[in-house]
Amino acid sequence: MPPHKINLLEAAEGIIGVFQPHIAGDVNDSQVKIAKFGEIFDWHAHDAEDEGFLVLRGRIAIDFRDGAVELGEGDFMVVPKTVEHRPRSLTHEPVVLMFEPATTLNTGNAESDLTVSELNRL
């Protein structure tokens, strides 16, 4: 069976709710995940994993304890492991692609109502 393509922006239209990551694909031991972001997320860190963010649509901010970094369409950023951060939207339901190990929990070391342990696939 040949690989199949996914139009990520079209697929994002089917995602209901914010901060509900969906798996777009597996790359070795990592996953490419897509989500719509909401107003504010939990402060958290990933003790053993770096996390990459690529904004496909809209604008987001990633808050750090010493300031924030704003990302727009096409902007990419890696948050190194152990760095506490909190992503949030700057526009209505921006679409963000995330690159991280398959075992990465979306809320890292801070479990809450926003924690998603069973991800859907596109």
The domains of the chain, with CATH numbers, are 8-121 (2.60.120.10)
User: Residue 40: what residue type?
Assistant: I
User: What is the per-residue pLDDT across 69-106, written as a single tens digit (0 to 9) for each?
Assistant: 999 999 999 999 999 999 999 999 999 999 998 888 77
Q: Please, which residues bridge with residue 62 across strands? A: 69, 87
Question: Residue 6's closest CA among 18, 21, 23?
Answer: 23
- Give the strands of the sheet with 60-64, arranged side by side: 67-71, 60-64, 85-89
Q: How confident is the model at residue 20 (pLDDT cuts 50, 70, 90)?
A: very high
